[in-house]
Amino acid sequence: MGDKGRRVSIKDVARHSGVGIGTVSRVINNSDRISPETRQKVLNSIKELGYIPNRAAQSMRSHKTKDIAFFIDISNLTFSRIATGTYQYLESQGYTLTLCHIGKNRSTTLEKVKSFLNGRTFDGIILSLPSEENEALNQYLKKVDVPIVTIDRDIPGLVTGVVTDYHGSLQKAVDYLISLGHRGIALVNGLPIIRPSKLITRSFREAMERNGMTVDESLLFHGEYSRDFGAQTMLNLLPRIRHREVTAIVCMHDEIFHGMLRVMKDYHLRCPEDVSVITLEDYELMQLLTPPFTVIRRQLIDMGEKVAQGLINYIQNPELYGQLEPYSLPTEFIIRESCAPPA
């Protein structure tokens, strides 16, 4: 902790350069027409005095903060990827990012969002919500009077910033499994209270039907994005895998995947000999597992960047708000060694 001397203010600059504070303000915001000489004079004083505008004061007057709120579950690895992209773009545009960790617990989301937003101002908000069906929250958010953009969520009244396009990859994944000879294919997916889960199920169905298969509804698993759900699902699946009723699994979440893997390990289920597996996210470790896993990859950093881009665009062009299509993030299907013809 250093010197506590009063910070130099706009007044000091005005006095030092012999102009009015309004003029200084105009120079800072390079608004209006200002004579080049005056501008230079002021600029010199600013430099000489080491003046830095006080953001709190600026935003109090202008109602702009250059600060974006980001609501997300930061305990997950996916987060750090998305956040990195978001951060980088925001920084490049002179914005800062303030985090709000809403956790996984859906029942506390509203409360967290509310108390976070209380009395604070943001120029915009990015949301990655654990549910689309929190009516109270949705109502509340509609009333917030800054641009809000969601990540992979369809919430009536809110604007979707980015959306993941799993369709093509899922088609490829299912085609691939079927070409390998699989018939009993399980889909392990998130809760259908969010957009991606719904779309994934739909695409999966379509892919199966296109291949002339009927979908066994008991092979469609929906649950929390958690290791527990993954473990439990795998436990359920175990007998059917052993009876060769199920020979392949498509798992659409990384934490769920960890849970499944854990049980596979514990029960000495071999992959791909006993069961073929395709999962989501292409983290480095996916290639380092045994076997290296066949995955659906999405560019998470890109995703974070694109939401931020969309939001800033809306902030700077309010008339566009809600008029643009969400950015559609492509995915890739990457074949490695976790799938084989059923025994």
Partner DNA sequence: GTGAAAGCGCTAACAC
Partner DNA sequence: GTGTTAGCGCTTTCAC
Q: Token pair of 219, please?
A: 């092979």
Kindly tell me which residue out of 31, 33, 119, 268 binds a second copy, with binding defined by CB under 8 A. 119
Residue 10 binding target from DNA, a second copy, none, CB below 5 to 8 Å by type: DNA
| CA 29 remoteness from chain centre | 33
Token pair for residue 208? 């199966």
CB closer to DNA out of 146 and 199: 146
| Positive or negative torsion for Cα 34, 35, 40, 46 | negative
Interface stretch with a second copy, choices 9-17, 118-126, 179-187, 273-281 (CB under 8 A) = 118-126
CB of 192 to a second copy, least distance (A): 26
Question: Residue 127, interface with a second copy (CB under 8 A)?
Answer: no
Query: Is residue 89 part of the contact set for a second copy (CB under 8 A)?
Result: no
How far apart CA 236 and CA 250 sit, in angstroms, is 15
Kindly report the three-state secondary structure assignment for every residue of 73-121. CCCCHHHHHHHHHHHHHHHHCCCEEEEEECCCCHHHHHHHHHHHHCCCC
Task: Tell me which of 9, 38, 76, 313 binds a second copy, using CB under 8 A.
Answer: 76
88 binds, among DNA, a second copy, none (CB under 5 to 8 A by kind): a second copy
Name residue 71's beta-bridge partners. 100, 127
Among 40, 92, 142, 332, binds a second copy (CB under 8 A): 142
Computed over its alpha carbons, how large is the radius of gyration of the chain?
A: 26
Q: Which residues of 258-287 are buried (b: 16+ CB within 10 A; e: fewer)?
A: ebbbebbeeeebebbebbbbbbbbbbeebe
Among 20, 32, 44, 52, binds a second copy (CB under 8 A): 52
Q: 273 to 332, contacts with a second copy by CB under 8 A?
A: 284-285, 287-290, 292, 321
Stretch that binds a second copy, among 48-56, 170-178, 241-249, 333-341 (CB under 8 A): 48-56
Query: Smallest gap, in angstroms, from Cβ of residue 309 to DNA?
Result: 25
Which residue, 22 or 322, is less far from DNA as judged by CB?
22
Question: Which residues, at least 6 apart from 150, have a Cβ–Cβ distance to it below 8 Å?
Answer: 126, 127, 128, 129, 158, 159, 160, 161
Which residues are at the interface with DNA (CB under 7 A)? 6-7, 9-11, 18-26, 28-29, 31-35, 37-39, 51-54, 57-58, 60-62, 119
Residues 6 or more apart whose CB falls under 8 angstroms from that of 56 comprise none
The entry of DNA, a second copy, none near residue 148 (CB within 5 to 8 angstroms by kind) is a second copy
Q: Which residues pair with 190 in a beta bridge?
A: 223
Give residues in contact with a second copy (CB under 8 A): 1-4, 52-60, 65, 67, 74-77, 79-81, 83-84, 87-88, 91, 96-101, 116, 118-121, 142-148, 227, 258, 261-262, 265, 284-285, 287-290, 292, 321
